[in-house]
Amino acid sequence: MRKGLTKFQQQEYKKLAHNVRMFRSEKGWTQMKAAKKCGVCFNTYAGIEQANCNPRADVLIKIAKGLGTKVDDLWLWLREDEL
């Protein structure tokens, strides 16, 4: 987790990381395969799944498209115990 973030920001990055990982896992893809399918570099993709990256909007659009979902779905609220 990146340092210097508010608690809210940390929760948002965890939520994004969890959801991206969930959509990838449902497809049975490795992080490397998902990064290629989404058209982003592996380090960026892995950083998002580890909540260590603040992705730009264009990167989120590529990831959502590559995973077959919408950007909004990457930010769905989860129960606190799922984070």
Domains in the chain: boundaries: 14-82
Q: Tell me the whole-structure pTM to 2 decimals.
A: 0.84
Q: What is the mean pLDDT of residues 4-32?
A: 91
CA distance 74 to 62: 12
The pLDDT tens digits for 22-75 are: 999 999 999 999 999 999 999 999 999 999 888 899 999 999 999 999 999 998
Angle at 25 between CA 6 and CA 16, to 5 degrees: 15
Residues 28-39 as b/e (b if ≥16 CB within 10 A, e otherwise) read ebebeebbebbe
Q: How far apart are CA 58 and CA 81, in angstroms?
A: 30
Q: 66 to each of 6, 35, 76, 80, 81, how far by Cα in Å? A: 29, 8, 17, 27, 28
Q: Could you identify the residue written with the tokens 């990167």?
A: 59
Domain 14-82 bears CATH identifier 1.10.260.40: yes
